Structure 1
Amino acid sequence: MSVERVDRATHQRGRGTTLGNIQALRGVAALIVVCAHVSGPDGFETRVFGSSWTWRSNLPANTGVDLFFVISGLIMVVTTWRVFDEPGSARRFLYRRITRIYPLYWIVNTAILLLFVLSPASVSFDDGNQTDILGSYLLLPHEGRLPVLVAWSLVYEMYFYLLFTLALTLGRRRFGWVMGAWTGLTLVLFLALGHSSNPYLSLVSSPLSLEFVLGVGIGYAVLRGWLFRPRLVLVVGIVSAVGVLALLAASGWAEFPSDLFRVLGPGLAAALLVYGAVGVEVSHGGTFPRPMQRLGDCSYSLYLIHVPALTLLAAVLAPMLPSGPLVHALTLVATPIFVVVGAYLCYRILERPLQEFFRRSLPGRRPARVASAPRRRGVPAPRDSRLRRWLARS
């Protein structure tokens, strides 16, 4: 059975993308972001205990988003490379991305808005800017916070998906030009505008987009079989990530000096991690422990619900818990476990059924048994059997 046929058959059985190490890194990224909202200046720990032991971990924990962005770039290339020039590929890609992001987000967004209407004091997303309700549902660029605090990163994700849809529409031969033009335009706008007060200009001029491009480059390298010493790269990535996190913790900064700093620091460290992790899986069959991969399965639910979950938990615990270092320490250990369990339930009850429903409704969905499509000119071919097997699951 050909790679293409295996891929289509596994997709029709609902398995989707099965990149073990990438799933594990997704879970790690989401859990890191949870830590940011436990330790933040107005986060869970401060609300419950009135002080924060972990405040220095707040800024380092925000780097989980940079890891997500790099992973997104990789996944988009790997999951579309066979069908890049097929009719309707852009439409199917955008449908999958929209139905992946919006339904669960709309449920969480609605729940937070309803809670705000019923009990404004229990929700804190008002930072002086008027909330654009329609814009929050559409994930449009915005000023200030959205009701779902982490949704600012989903605005970037949707921007990237639109750019990638354009690349699919223009075809594989122009893919490099689209990515190159996007990179160049982003840098020019960043140098010309800096940080713009206009939310749309701020989005298109942000260097954070370059983290997606790093992921795209890694994805293309994997498809070409350019896997240079992945174990060494993974070790270097881990050391680099630890070094960046330590630097941020020691700095005492309340925020990153600039978005460009994020790309050159956390972004590059994330790229090394992703390249090394994928390379180890493809070249040597090495994968992270299965519990980490399962955490990655529910990473989107964890990412969306952890802030409202922490907010509600703080409201319940603040008047109940006695003060004292032992209680403080035990609460810090138990809280992420509580949030992960809640995210897993959300994944099983809401996210996965929604994914299955929209996958079955995919326009132009093909039957499981189809003839193998010939390899098109310009489509990179896997260099070895292990890589072909890995791509068959992607």
Structure 2
Amino acid sequence: MTSFPSTKNNEFHFCNIQALRGLAVMLVLAFHVYAIETKYFSGHIIPDALGVIGTSGVDLFFVISGFVIVSISRDGCGNPASALEFMKHRVLRIYPLYWIYSLIVLSIMLISPRLVNASSGHRADILASLTLFPSVTLPLLLQGWTLTYEMFFYLVFAALLAFSSRRFLGALLAVWAVVTFALACWVRSEAMSHPALDVVSSPLVLEFIAGCASAMIWQRISRRASMPVFAVTVASIVVVALMIEGSSLDAIIQWRAAYFGVPSFLVVLSAILAERRFGFIAPASMQVLGDMSYSLYLSHILVISAVGRMWSWAFPAGPFFWGTLGAVAAAIALGWVSFRFVETPLLLASKRVFDKRPSMLKST
């Protein structure tokens, strides 16, 4: 997922957006812990509603990604060199840590295939997994499917960055949204299916574009005009909560861009306005979770699956409360360790190797 420049006191750093990244990863963690409880435990600590709403963390991540990349890169519009620099740093940000966790899963798969990718028949396209190319099967690291979308976002945005001016970036993003919507309608009306086409035509692309839009419009919203934005944000969350109550996860996922994408856009916009117009800053603990969110996002399924399996073996009819608590605590702990001792050194090493000159994108 996209992160901000590391320098905290600059125009590109939004504390509340970093905190939202923390919220997003905790929602995803809750969603997957709920699934682990269902699979291994005799009951649930995670509420049923959170077991459904947790999937919205992915939608929030996509909106945040759109916001961040426009915030940090639109001054490079019309400059192919800036677009190449942007893509270089996206690749260095996404792939190295992802490869580490993917190779861990591959090792597990080689030893015991039944432990990996049950939803795809314990199969995986290894090349597609490592390249994040669309595939008919899920990646080795299940959550890698979202990174396939991220890389598609980055490729299209890099093209816009290379060949458009800052003045026309908004118009081109609007064209991209219209084309995506038209493709989505056409693909579904014709019942077509192909991994690459599914990504290109997915309504999830609209969430990314919505994030881009939030980065372009927030500065035009005054302190006074922020209040209606806050009200609409709260109303949208309440309305969606009422609409999805009692609905199956499959039914919700089909319309997730509407159910979760719209509130995510409003939440991101509200978070920016709260910080820049009212000086409200989210708790530091949430910002720390945001800092480590990529490591936590990539590692958490491995951790909670291991804890769930071991707990159910040791205590088949035991107190599942402690199993759930242990899974969450272990996931967060390993996420921090990964961030501190794996992700951060990897990023620093990649900058030393590949950064030959100063760039506004070099710390993204």
Judging changes above 3 Å, is the alpha-carbon distance between structure 1 residues 328 and 128 closer, same or farther for their aligned structure 2 residues? closer
Q: Which piece of structure 1 moves more, 184-193 or 76-85? A: 76-85
Q: Deviations over 1:260-312 (max 9, x none)?
A: x2222211111111001001111122110000000000001111111111111
RMSD: 2.7
CA contact (8 A) 2:99 2:130 kept: yes
Which residue of the partner structure matches residue 272 of structure 2? 278
User: Which of these residues, 166, 170, 174, is aligned with residue 176 of structure 1?
Assistant: 170
1:18 is paired with a residue whose SS is: coil
CA 1:14 to 1:146, structure 2 compared with 1: closer, same or farther past 3 Å?
same
Mapped partners of 2:44, 2:264: distance in 1? 27
38, 42, 47: which one pairs with 2:33? 38
Selected match of 1:24 from 13, 19, 25? 19
Structure 1 portions without partners, runs of 5+: 1-9, 369-392
- 8 Å contact kept, 1:32–1:62: yes
1:205 CA displacement: 1.2
Per the alignment, residue 283 of structure 2 pairs with 289
Residue 104 of structure 1 corresponds to 97
1:272 alignment partner AA: L
Deviation at 1:346, TM superposition (A): 0.5
Partner SS state of residue 131, structure 1: coil
Counterparts of 1:147 and 1:367, CA distance in 2: 34
Question: Structure 2 residue aligned with 1:332, among 311, 324, 331?
Answer: 324
Structure-1 residue corresponding to 2:130: 137
Structure with more helix by fraction: 2
Q: Distance in 1 between matches of 2:235 and 2:225?
A: 16
Deviation readout 1:116-156 (Å, 9 max, x if unpaired):
11122333445238521111111011113211111111111
Q: What residue in structure 1 maps to residue 199 of structure 2?
A: 203
233 and 79 in structure 1: CA distance in 2 versus 1, 3 angstrom threshold: same
2:240 to 238, 244, 248: 244
SS at match of 1:357: helix
TM-score when normalising by structure 2: 0.88
Residues in 1 aligned to 2:169 and 2:250: alpha-carbon distance in whole angstroms = 35
Per the TM alignment, residue 244 of structure 1 is displaced from its structure 2 partner at its CA by 2.5
> Does the CA contact (< 8 Å) of 2:22 and 2:286 recur in 1?
yes
In the alignment, residue 342 of structure 1 is paired with which amino acid? L
Give deviations 1:72-109, integer Å, cap 9, x for gaps: 11001101133334461101100111111111000000
The AA in structure 2 aligned to 1:165 is A
Q: Which residue does the alignment assign to 1:375?
A: none
Contact 2:80 2:161 in 1 (8 A): no
Deviates further, 77-86 or 268-277: 77-86
Instruction: Say whether the 8 Å CA contact 2:30–2:54 is kept in structure 1.
Output: yes
Unmatched segments (≥5 aa) in structure 2: none
Distance 1:362 1:256 in 2: 45
Q: Distance in 1 between matches of 2:152 and 2:205?
A: 9
What is the CA distance between 1:62 and its match in structure 2? 0.6
Q: What amino acid is the match of 1:203?
A: V
1:167 equivalent in alignment to 2:163:
no
- Greater CA drift, 194-203 or 298-307: 194-203
2:86 to 72, 90, 93: 93
Deviates more, 1:18-27 or 1:215-224: 215-224
Q: Which residue of 2 aligns with 1:256?
A: 251
Counterpart Cα distance in 1 of 2:281 and 2:293: 18
| Cα distance, 1:208 vs structure 2 | 1.1
Question: Following TM superposition, by how much is the alpha carbon of 1:354 offset from its aligned partner in structure 2, in angstroms?
Answer: 1.2
Amino acid across the alignment from 2:84? R
Deviations 1:5-38 (A, max 9, x none): xxxxx96979895320001000100110011111
Return the alpha-carbon distance in structure 1 between the equivalents of residues 6 and 234 of structure 2. 36
CA deviation string 1:312-349 (max 9, x = no partner): 1122211112635xx22333334322211110110001
Q: What code does the residue aligned with 2:31 have?
A: A
CA distance change for structure 1 residues 32 and 253 in 2, over 3 Å: closer, same or farther?
Answer: same
| Among 63, 68, 78, the residue aligned to 1:75 | 68
Greater alpha carbon shift after TM alignment, 350-359 vs 219-228: 219-228
Number of equivalent positions: 354
Which of residues 328, 337, 348 is equivalent to 2:340?
348
Identity %: 31
TM score, norm. by length of structure 1: 0.82
Aligned pair partner of 1:146 in 139, 143, 150: 139
Structure 2 CA distance for aligned equivalents of residues 271 and 264 of structure 1: 11
Alpha-carbon distance in 2 for matches of 1:186, 1:128: 31
Shift of 1:50: 4.3
Cα displacement (A) at 1:114: 0.5
* Residues 1:367 and 1:255: Cα distance change in structure 2 (over 3 Å): closer
CA contact (8 A) 1:233 1:273 kept: no
Higher mean C-alpha displacement, 183-192 vs 355-364: 355-364
